[in-house]
A and B are shown apart, each in its own frame.
Chain A
Amino acid sequence: MSSPENQPQDAAVELNFNDTELTLGLPGAAKTGSKREFSHTLEASSTSAKSPAQKAQVVGWPPVRASRKSVMKKCKYVKVAVDGAPYLRKVDLEMYQSYDQLLSSLETMFTCLTIWNDLNQKNCERGKNNNGGEYVPTYEDKDGDWMMVGDVPWNMFVESCKRIRLMMSSEEATTGFGARRGSSE
């Protein structure tokens, strides 16, 4: 009458964790569990292989709505450095819901800085430094590695980001990331 007693734990491991494991794929690929905003943000190249989640985090569990998650968490202030800027800024990552919002805000913040730096410079285009090159957003994660912003789901990024650095594109070329920043522009 009653069902055979399996070890529910094992059954779950067999069945579910592969399906529910957070994976990294191309942003924009139809991915279960990815937040809506994420699929519209940066189009990075395919260098991001499957990287292990820090903890085995199950998608959508506990069942708490997104708005509730971000409002409840305390502030997460991280330093933002921009190559060529004389001082750093700080942003609260919890204020943003997506990469688009964060990057827009950074662009605004540092456009002002650029104007202040060089009063003669009239053309301060978004995302460009004085020399007309582009910035590449990178961040240091919990492991101390420097990563490109945009590869992982937004929530995961907020959780693991320790500091942000906007690298100048000339340096980017040297490190071999390649010019592949697609953004909200």
Chain B
Amino acid sequence: MECKRKKEWPESNDSNRPTTFPDEVLERVLSLLKSHKDRSSVSLVCKDWYNAERWSRSHVFIGNCYSVSPEILTRRFPNIRSVTLKGKPRFSDFNLVPPNWGADIHSWLLVFAKKYPLLQELKLKRMTVTDESFEFLSLSFPNFKVLSLLSCDGFSTDGLAAIATNCKNLTELDIQENGIDDKNGNWLSCFPESFTSLEVLNFANLHSDVNFDALERLVSRCKSFKTLKVNKSITLEQLQRLLVHAPQLVELGTGIFSQELTAQQYSELETAFNNCKNIHTLSGLWTATAQFLPVLYRACANLTFLNLSYSTLDGDDLAKLLVHCPNLRRLWVLDTVEDKGLEAVGSYCPLLEELRVFPADPYDQDVVHGVTEAGFIAVSGGCPRLHYVLYFCHQMTNAAVATVVQNCPDFTHFRLCIMNPHQPDYLTDEPMDEAFGAVVKTCTKLQRLAVSGLLTDLTFEYIGKYAKNLETLSVAFAGNSDWGMQCVLEGCPKLRKLEIRDSPFGNAALLSGLEKYESMRSLWMSDCNVTMNGARLLAKEMPRLNVEVIKEEGINNSKADKIYVYRSVAGPRRDAPPFVFTL
């Protein structure tokens, strides 16, 4: 096992020295601390506590993979079993970061193989992972148990095959929404017949057909299955068979939710669902229709999270379903449910805490449906515990938002996306400043905010003045001048992540945050008014920041099209591609 260094027990009492514990006691106590923030605080108390903390830490969270190097990490924390790593800036999800930007996991894996041979868990978000890396991972860590990938790219289903083939102790394989080259479903057949440890399997966002027999055998022999999220290729009939093998499931993602079924088959399906008494998360439900939703009704009694964001349900069908979901805490829907569906949410889900409404046709500019401010108000009226909202809509008013936050003053996450850039309050034609003003004034616990619509600098004055707990701010097509961004940088003491696109903030704004950026994780600005000179000046003044400009090759003007600024103890990137200029 790890070697412990001996610490000498102090002979005399130094003055001002806090009571000392033996290392073993201190480490034992600290090993019970799970929160990273607590652990960070603990490590700052004194050198002894710093050391005890680093020896006792088993899980590390790295919010920006370039803020630290694997060498520095492994030097500080010798006993890590679980790593969470995030890579690219969030706007890469929306194609704003060119391909091959970086965040490749491989250099980390090489170091981990040497320093953390007992590594069990790897959770990656927005990292690039190749099939070779998967193969290497699967062969280097005999105790490997948990693999979770969200918004990653660079790999194909061949990589998954390596994991399935080689990771004998795997308990969790969670593949969410990645840019994966989905060649085929053969990977699922690679789990050996002797393999029985799987508890979590999520392949909902893969498209290829898998071998159903292999899946059925896998589910039936892995007795501890608690989360199963299949893809669209799995039919209702097949789902019924899976449920019979695993009635203990806690999280279920169905496949396609409509099929020609006989009365007998329908009844069997209903029975299978009725036998699942522990389901609290339900998702999938592709092409779910009113005809089949009733099979779920009994199983929904304990449901706390319902993800209908892949179902084009209308308001009536949603209402009929929600009647059976009184314990719902989190709901994700498409805007096909319209305001009528949201009224049902307000009526039937009094315990709701989180609502996400996604646009069914985000690029269709002729759309005349979707949700409006009326639906938003209806939900807030019936769900006073609502604290997380993501709302895509085509129209909104200042008054409506003010009403919403009056009904629900406890928002911690408020993400409103009015889909037409620069759209004003559609009734008064005014900017949406007062809407977000109301949000920040009323919701004192606000941690995350995304703004949209026609916004002047006033919005940012409000944010700087009132949003004292704000940690993450997303801005697009907003503001008038540098002043707006300055207000935020000067006024929000807890700001960690600031991402801005297509807004008229320039060098003065950028440079006003000189002191600020070291206390933040990162700043992203794209298609704003920042120039290369401004970026260079920032880099010069703040040597401990990495200031990177993404610029297409061959384009020789003075604009810094995309600038990414982040603190780092690892120095400038050594793997930057040609279009990333480190200043």
- Is the Cβ of A61 less than 8 Å from the Cβ of B561? no
The answer to whether A162 has its CB under 8 Å from any CB of chain B is no
A143 to B379, CA, bound (A): 43
Partner of A19, one of B362, B417, B474, B527: B527
Shortest CB–CB separation between residue B213 and chain A, in angstroms? 23
- What is the interface size of chain B, counting residues whose CB is below 8 A from a CB of the partner? 59
Q: B360 touching A72 by the CB < 8 A rule?
A: yes
In A2-54, the 8 Å CB interface with B consists of 2-6, 8-9, 11-12, 15-16, 19-20, 30-37, 39
Complex contact A61–B94 (CB within 8 A): yes
Contacts of A68 in B (CB 8 A): 177, 309, 358
Interface size on A, residues (CB 8 A): 46
B292 sits at the interface (CB 8 A): no
CA distance A31 to B579 in the complex (A): 10
- Minimal Cβ-Cβ distance residue in B for A95: B207
Is B334 a contact partner of A72 (Cβ separation < 8 A)?
Answer: yes
Chain B interface main SS type: loop
The answer to whether A64 touches B358 (Cβ under 8 A) is yes
Contact of A5 among B421, B456, B483 (CB under 8 A): B456
A116 → chain B, closest Cβ, in Å? 23
Cα–Cα distance between A66 and B92 once the two chains are bound (Å): 11
Chain A contacts with B in 75-123, Cβ cutoff 8 A? 95, 97-98, 100-101
The answer to whether residues A30 and B457 also contact, given A35-B95, A60-B91, A62-B417 and a CB cut-off of 8 A, is no
Indicate whether A16 sits within 8 Å of B579 (C-beta atoms), given known contacts A62-B392, A63-B93: no
A30-B579, A32-B552, A36-B153 are contacts. A60–B480 as well, Cβ < 8 Å?
A: no
Q: How far is the CB of A16 from chain B (nearest CB, A)?
A: 4
CA A134 to CA B550, docked complex, whole Å? 39
Given known contacts A3-B484, A62-B362, A66-B179, A11 and B96 CB-to-CB distance under 8 angstroms = no
Q: Which residues of B contact A20 (CB under 8 A)?
A: 502, 527
The answer on a CB contact under 8 Å between B96 and A12 is no
Check B430 for interface membership: any CB of A closer than 8 A. no
Mark B481-517 against chain A: 1 for CB-CB distance below 8 A, else 0. 1011000000000000000011010000000000000
Does A58 interact with chain B (Cβ within 8 Å)? Answer: yes
A19 to B560, CA, bound (A): 12
Distance (whole angstroms) from the CB of A70 to the closest CB of chain B:
9
Q: Kindly supply a per-residue 1/0 record for chain B positions 25-67, scoring 1 wherever the CB is within 8 Å of any chain A CB and 0 otherwise.
A: 0000000000000000000000000000000000000000000
Q: What CA separation (Å) do A9 and B476 show in the bound complex?
A: 13
- Determine whether A173 belongs to the interface, using a CB cutoff of 8 Å to chain B: no
Do A57 and B363 touch (CB < 8 A)?
A: yes
Could you tell me if B95 and A60 are in contact, using CB atoms closer than 8 angstroms?
A: yes
Asked if A69 is an interface residue, CB under 8 A from chain B, the answer is yes
Check if A30 sits within 8 Å of B309, measured CB to CB: no
Chain A residue at smallest Cβ distance from B502: A16
Q: Which residues of the partner chain A approach B132 to less than 8 Å between Cβ atoms?
A: none
Which of the residues A16, A30, A64, A95 comes within 8 Å of B552, measured between beta carbons? Answer: A30
Query: Residue A175 at the B interface, CB < 8 A?
Result: no
11 residue pairs bridging A and B, Cβ less than 8 Å apart? A3-B483, A6-B481, A15-B502, A15-B528, A35-B95, A61-B476, A63-B417, A63-B474, A66-B95, A67-B177, A72-B334
